[in-house]
Structure 1
């Protein structure tokens, strides 16, 4: 599939080296034996960028990267043909250990502390994003913020992206998500709990979520995707609202599923697909990611076989 759109930029301010270990019968306070493991240069924006490259889309990656263990990231960027515009920060990029237990079908996360960029690093990142947004079609800001980086840093980047005529896509949570919504990005992807936190009240039904998403559409956020875990996701855009549900699958790990959904939506935007096709593709990519260990899909084949089995229900009523 040949790309016909503009370059896509992903921004990962708090990347991580994901060490995924498979430990059957994992138990705290006991000796555990690792049956298999893999180490990946990751972080939400990095994962999304990797998926976008599978669609042959031109991608530039940026954010903050530690100088002391950058090699694993640099190798991935080079191997996948991404342009590296990360701001280097003294210290180590954080490590996240994920213990996958196939017996209990559970995942245990052990997250190390990350980098602490200062004001000059943030200013440099803002300069880079301003330059990249001149030529970019879409800029994706994804993941959590490092220690000491203010939530409105996300809002600052969104305003810069919009001023240069690019579309800002955001996948974050908490105060950073609230700051993002205030700045008015093109697309957001909270889960149901994050949406409830954002609006300050429970989201008791799908109709509730759709109504809130439509209010966000009216405020200038073109697309709202609300992920519901195994139940699928709700997508609301331009008067259209739909629930997308994956087929029943054998779940191995949920790591990277949300990133695959954003990646599918962004790829669909770049390729000019209508909403229903974007939704079907994004849901299939997310489900395919759940079927494997590690955050990165090896190829698009599994997702393509799942696409015909995605159930899409349209909500009635206008915005």
Structure 2
């Protein structure tokens, strides 16, 4: 069982319009609404890969009910802590004329001390039953910056392997708790070590440095170019297959889901990376986050190149 934790869950809405312009009335040709937030996207991909997923975190109001209902309809068990207010909506406006998109992201409801204590209990209880606990996404208002570090400790103490996909201070502090995996992209990795950019050999050196600080798997993703990873002391270069991408939103979540599912299956490092990259590439070929065609993912596996550096 893989448990995903989304502390700032969302309803992801996508509007498709032609010729989007600020200040004008727009006709929406098509709209999509999905349970969102990075952890929920991971849960959806794990389920599509054939795994058992349980989603937890915070949910509020009618939007929170929508998130729970839609996840349950996908065969994902939910254990959200209900809080006052309304779970956020994240709106993506896709201009079909230009191909560009505009995102509007709500902050989401604040979280009080009682709810924080409850979600910690839930994570500890589910962590005792899970192979992997995935902590993903932004922290909600009212929570401390070191919350992920504490949750890593709770889940690890319960016996689970813990994956952390965050950014900024939350990631920097979370690394101190030694999660089993982190997945920063190039920009997030650069910010983590105080640089403007990380290129070439420095990417691998930085991944190895973070591995040396106690993170078993460090995957520095590079979008369509693949990833550089340090896995159990070995550096790998991952070259992703070229695909006709429809949307790259949620591809990082698909990568994490592939890693978690492969880890649960006991696959070796190279095969974990292969499945993660194939899942991310397959996800890019869909129009929404948390989606992939399993048959496409399986066909892409042989086109992923993984080699030691």
Checking the alignment, whether the CA contact within 8 Å between 1:203 and 1:209 is kept in structure 2 is no
Equivalent position to 2:139, from 128, 145, 151: 145
Asked if 1:124 corresponds to 2:110, the answer is: no
Question: What is the distance in 1 between the residues matched to 2:31 and 2:62?
Answer: 23
Asked if 1:79 corresponds to 2:73, the answer is: yes
Q: How does 1:1-319 map to 2 (within 5 A)?
A: 7-315=1-309
* TM-score normalised to structure 1 length: 0.92
Question: What is the distance in 1 between the residues matched to 2:299 and 2:19?
Answer: 32
Checking the alignment, whether the CA contact within 8 Å between 1:21 and 1:34 is kept in structure 2 is yes
Displacement after TM superposition at 1:273 (Å): 1.1
Question: What is the distance in 2 between the residues matched to 1:217 and 1:202?
Answer: 21
SS at match of 2:21: coil
In 2 relative to 1, CA 310–202 (structure 1 residues): closer, same or farther, beyond 3 Å? same
Supply the RMSD in Å over aligned alpha carbons. 1.6
Question: What is the distance in 1 between the residues matched to 2:24 and 2:302?
Answer: 44
Question: What is the distance in 2 between the residues matched to 1:261 and 1:102?
Answer: 27
Structure 1 runs not aligned, ≥5 long: 1-6
In 2 relative to 1, CA 313–202 (structure 1 residues): closer, same or farther, beyond 3 Å? farther
Question: What is the distance in 1 between the residues matched to 2:19 and 2:269?
Answer: 42
Question: What is the distance in 1 between the residues matched to 2:251 and 2:260?
Answer: 14
Question: What is the distance in 1 between the residues matched to 2:243 and 2:52?
Answer: 31
Count of residue correspondences:
309
